[in-house]
């Protein structure tokens, strides 16, 4: 159903494109094939085109405002009581919005439309399931955004300000878990500056991921998977908009911050109740891969400086703990824990230091402290 809707929408948009190529007038097509649907279109400027298709069930609502020139939008709603709001201001913006199911919402924030304010922005949102919400707003030029949600009660949130950012959010829930109150996945991305990129992929239930990037050329990649069996009650974390405390029975939890130029990070978590936090401040820092597989693992990495490198940072097993604090430039670290109840702490203050820690088995503990420059430390431990 979702693919056929995409094809219908692509055909409609292609038709509108061919029409607008020969005229300066705006073009709008609305098709409603059920009951109690509403669609409102406002277009001001030249060569704007829009198509809205509402079918199958009742009570869908679509609101569209396009101001500027050569903007294109397409909306499909299949199901009941879905709501779409879209506001595009500027030139050459494109939006494709598709909802299949019931009670899904696309917006910028409570009571407002999804927004693109600038030029040459591209937005694609697909929601398949029930009670999913996508919040999106972009200001500036040449942004790209794709949000795909399949499941129940998932939420995606993205803000892009500046130029040439890209964000991809994919959330896939488990459609047969209605007794548990929904999939409840959350993904959020906020980007300022120029040419930052965020990619979040989550599969399962009760996953929580958020990225924040500022300045230029930063890259964040997050992947999480897990199911209801490991959900916990009442975990407290910052809410998507940094207002007060947001509480949710989280399964895996990831939060990242990058402020500077050319920073990169990749996080992979599989299992239940794993927590990962990365904070990079400076230029050219990279965490090649932070991987946690199992349950109840915790990793917190804080980097202040330039050109620091985390090569391999992984915990495989249960209840492993990892804390890394780097203050300086050109430091390199690698931490591996395979087993249960292991703990590794690394504290570096200086430049060009190297630390390698490997712990296998259970109940190992390592603490490495490096103050100064060009130090080298290696720890290898194997427990029971």
- pLDDT tens sequence across 336-360: 999 999 999 999 999 999 999 999 9
Distances (CA, A) of 313 to 220, 286, 337: 16, 12, 8
Mean pLDDT across the chain, nearest whole number? 86
Rg, Å, the chain Cα set: 23
Pairing of strands 144-152, 166-172: parallel
For CA atoms 93, 109, 112, 53, the dihedral sign is: positive
Contact criterion met (CB below 8 Å) for 269 and 275: no
Which tokens sit at 341?
Answer: 């109840």
Q: What residues does each domain of the chain span?
A: 2-382
pLDDT winner (highest mean) among 54-63, 124-133, 219-228: 124-133
Indicate if the pLDDT at residue 300 is higher than 50: yes
Residue among 185, 172, 298 at smallest CA distance from 231: 185
Q: Detail the DSSP E strand segments found in 195-320.
A: 197-204, 208-216, 219-226, 235-238, 245-248, 253-261, 264-272, 275-283, 286-295, 298-304, 309-318
Q: Which of 2-6, 14-18, 266-270, 350-354 has the lowest mean pLDDT?
A: 14-18
Indicate if the pLDDT at residue 233 is higher than 60: no
- pLDDT tens sequence across 71-128: 999 999 999 999 999 999 999 999 999 999 999 999 875 556 799 999 999 999 999 9
More confident of the two residues 365 and 56: 365
Residue among 228, 245, 227 at smallest CA distance from 236: 245
Please report which confidence band the pLDDT of residue 173 belongs to, taking 50, 70 and 90 as the band edges.
Answer: confident
Indicate if the pLDDT at residue 146 is higher than 70: yes
Q: Which of 6-15, 95-104, 318-327 has the lowest mean pLDDT?
A: 6-15
Exposed/middle/buried for residue 378 (C-beta within 10 Å: 0-12, 13-18, 19+)? exposed
More confident of the two residues 159 and 250: 159
Q: What is the pLDDT of residue 181?
A: 53
Which tokens sit at 198?
Answer: 């965020």
Q: What is the pLDDT of residue 51?
A: 95
Q: What is the pLDDT of residue 238?
A: 34
Question: What does the DSSP 8-state code read for residue 92?
Answer: S
């Amino acid at each position: 159903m979702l693919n056929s809707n995409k094809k219908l929408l692509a055909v409609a948009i292609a038709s509108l494109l061919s029409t607008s190529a020969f005229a300066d007038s705006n073009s709008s097509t609305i098709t409603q094939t059920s009951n109690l649907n509403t669609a409102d279109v406002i277009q001001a400027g030249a060569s704007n085109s829009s198509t809205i298709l509402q079918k199958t069930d009742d009570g869908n609502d679509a609101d569209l405002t396009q101001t500027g020139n050569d903007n294109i939008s397409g909306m499909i709603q299949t199901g009941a009581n879905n709501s779409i709001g879209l506001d595009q201001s500027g030139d050459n913006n494109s939006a494709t919005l598709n909802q299949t199911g019931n009670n899904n919402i696309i917006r910028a924030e409570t009571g407002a439309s999804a927004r693109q304010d600038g030029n040459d922005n591209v937005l694609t949102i697909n929601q398949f399931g029930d009670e999913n919400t996508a919040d999106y707003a972009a200001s500036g030029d040449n942004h790209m955004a794709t949000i795909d949600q399949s499941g129940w009660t998932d939420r995606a949130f993205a803000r892009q300000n500046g130029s040439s950012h890209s964000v991809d959010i994919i959330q896939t829930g488990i459609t047969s878990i209605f007794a548990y109150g929904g999939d409840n996945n959350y993904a959020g991305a906020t980007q300022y500056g120029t040419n930052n990129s965020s990619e979040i992929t989550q599969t399962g239930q009760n996953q929580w991921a958020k990225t924040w990037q500022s300045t230029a050329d930063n890259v964040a990649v997050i992947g999480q998977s897990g199911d209801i069996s490991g959900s916990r009650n009442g975990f407290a974390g910052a809410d998507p908009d940094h207002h007060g405390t947001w509480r949710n029975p989280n399964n895996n939890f990831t939060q990242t911050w990058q402020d500077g130029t050319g920073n990169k990070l990749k996080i992979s978590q599989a299992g239940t109740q794993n927590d990962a936090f990365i904070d990079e401040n400076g230029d050219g820092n990279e965490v090649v891969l932070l991987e946690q597989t199992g349950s109840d693992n915790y990793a917190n990495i804080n980097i202040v400086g330039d050109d620091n490198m985390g090569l391999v940072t992984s915990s495989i097993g249960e209840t492993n703990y990892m804390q890394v604090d780097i203050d300086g430039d050109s430091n390199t670290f690698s931490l591996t824990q395979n087993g249960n109840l292991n703990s590794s702490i690394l504290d570096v203050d200086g430049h060009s230091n190297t630390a390698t820690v490997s712990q296998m088995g259970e109940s190992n503990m390592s603490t490495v402290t490096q103050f100064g420059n060009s130090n080298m430390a290696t720890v290898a431990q194997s427990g029971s």
